Amino acid sequence: MGSRMTTTRTLPWTPPGGSDVEMIEVGEYWDVVRAPADIGERALALLGDETGAVIADYGLMYWLIPAGHARTWQLRRREIHALGADRAGVTYVGVPPAAHTIGPRLHWQIPIGPDRYLTDADRLREALSRAVSEPAEGATNR
């Protein structure tokens, strides 16, 4: 496990180094879409290799999407939120250091890198919509 993601230096933004979580203002480099982990896991499976970096923290998942896209986010679900500086008020998201890739505490579920940075907002919206409307495999009605 030698490398500590030095390849992220070519990105316009990189996660914090060291061991401390940083609170980063949403909107300058990216907006964020937050979803519950159960829906998020299904969306990840639907996105496959088309997902960008994903932060996870206990029961939530956060996708980084292009800045400004939270303003036009059209999936209106109580449990899914688009967060961006374009909306009312300033929003901050806790971002783990690049080396934090194991949970359940704040970590990179899908680590950031030059080939995995932002998720296309339209593809994410479609995947989350399907993840909400299609029952989970093996789910039973109670």
**Averaged over 74-94, what is the pLDDT?**
80
**Residue 92 belongs to what H/E stretch?**
strand 92-95
Q: Is the pLDDT of residue 30 over 80?
A: yes
Count of Cβ atoms closer than 10 Å to residue 28 Cβ: 11
Two tokens, residue 11: 């990105």
Q: How far is CA 83 from CA 32, 56, 77, in A?
A: 5, 15, 13
pLDDT band at 127 (very low <50, low <70, confident <90, very high): very high
pTM of the model: 0.84
Crossing angle (nearest 10°) for helices 121-133 and 37-47: 120
